[in-house]
Amino acid sequence: MALSNEIVQQKLTEKFGDQLSDWQAPYGMLTFTAQKDLNIKVLQFLYDDTELRFQFLTDLQAVHYPEKKGEELAVVYHVHNLVDNLRIRFKIFVDIEKPDVFTATALYQSANFMERETYDFFGVNFVGHPNLIRILNVDEMDYFPMRKEFPLEDQSRIDKDDEMFGR
């Protein structure tokens, strides 16, 4: 029998119980929220289980929700079961004041660059990452540009400060 969202949800609920919440399936893609400390345990379970076999990390990134106090940063994992061609996604929420998240680099080598990128743009501190430094932005950058308190426009220029440019 082919793997389906219901089977994945059932197996995860059996294993983790109430610690996983907010089950949804937007556009047919199973999505849930895990507790912050559980991210690697969930990934490992999805990887190791002989039926689930989610062994490919498609994407890993963050989202900033400034209005959610205490859990401003969401780290989102997309994993793919290449055998049954099923994708799922889960999120963990962390406090922006202390954005510590366990690294997935031990499980997925590909998480190395993705976590560096997430650190670069959102400042998520991946605990245990072998080389957590900026990857895409200039090394001298002293802020995390994708956080919503920073405007998109370059703040260093002085020649565009009139009303013509909507500032």
Binding mask 82-121 for another protein (x = CB under 8 A): ----------------------------------------
Contact 75, 50 (CB under 8 A): no
For another protein, give the closer residue by CB, 82 or 165.
165
The residue type of 58 is T
Start-to-end CA distance of the chain, whole Å, equals 58
CB of 118 to another protein, least distance (A): 16
Nearest CA among 90, 95, 98 for reference residue 45: 90
* Run of H or E including 87: strand 86-94
Q: Does 136 bind another protein (CB under 8 A)?
A: yes
Helical (H) or strand (E) element with 57? strand 56-64
**Which of 9, 11, 145, 147 forms a contact with another protein (CB under 8 A)?**
145
Among residue numbers 36 through 75, which ones bind another protein (CB under 8 A)? Answer: none
100/116 Cα distance (integer angstroms): 13
| Segment near another protein (CB under 8 A); pick from 6-14, 60-68, 111-119, 153-161 | 153-161
Q: Out of 98, 156, 163, 164, which residue is the one contacting another protein (CB under 8 A)?
A: 156
161 sits near another protein (criterion: CB under 8 A): no
164 binds another protein per the rule CB under 8 A = no
Please enumerate in sequence order all residues whose Cβ is within 8 A of that of 1, keeping only pairs 6 or more positions apart, or say none.
7
Q: Which of 67, 142, 159, 162 binds another protein (CB under 8 A)?
A: 159
Stretch that binds another protein, among 24-32, 68-76, 92-100, 137-145 (CB under 8 A): 137-145
Say how far apart CA 57 and CA 159 lie, in whole Å. Answer: 44
What is the SS3 assignment for 59?
strand
- List residues binding another protein (CB under 8 A): 136-138, 141, 145, 150, 152-157, 159-160, 165
